[in-house]
Amino acid sequence: MGRVAVAARERRLDVQDLEPPEPLERVLAALPGLQPGEYLRMLHRREPLLLYEILEASGYRYAVREGPEAPFEILIWREGDTEAEEAARTRAGEAGNRG
């Protein structure tokens, strides 16, 4: 039996040109709008270390990779949303992935 294609949608948030704390504020404002099956792909020039603890405490999970569009791509989904998680992890790939 063939594998079913993941239908999750990606939301893109580019904060590379913003100064702190605006990237953190923008991502936290965007997360409540995620629908089932959606994940957020945040493009950042620096690794947002403070964000990770906030995500975990708020019921989100994430994967980090070096991206083709930005030094850091952080893929974020709601904990328990397996469709979004599978799509995000597929996007992130296995090599160099953390989270």
pLDDT tens digits, residue range 62-77?
999 998 899 999 999 9
Q: Convert the pLDDT of each residue in 1-19 to its tens digit.
A: 344 444 579 999 999 999 9
Bridge partners, residue 42, by sequence: 13, 74
Residue 51 vs residue 91, higher pLDDT = 51
Q: Which residue has 């991206």 as its token pair?
A: 67
Q: Convert the pLDDT of each residue in 20-34 to its tens digit.
A: 999 999 999 999 999
Q: Do residues 45 and 20 lie in contact, with contact meaning Cβ atoms separated by under 8 Å? A: no
Single pTM value for the model: 0.87
pLDDT of residue 35: 95
Between CA 75 and CA 25 the distance in angstroms is 16
Top-tier CATH class for 9-92: alpha beta
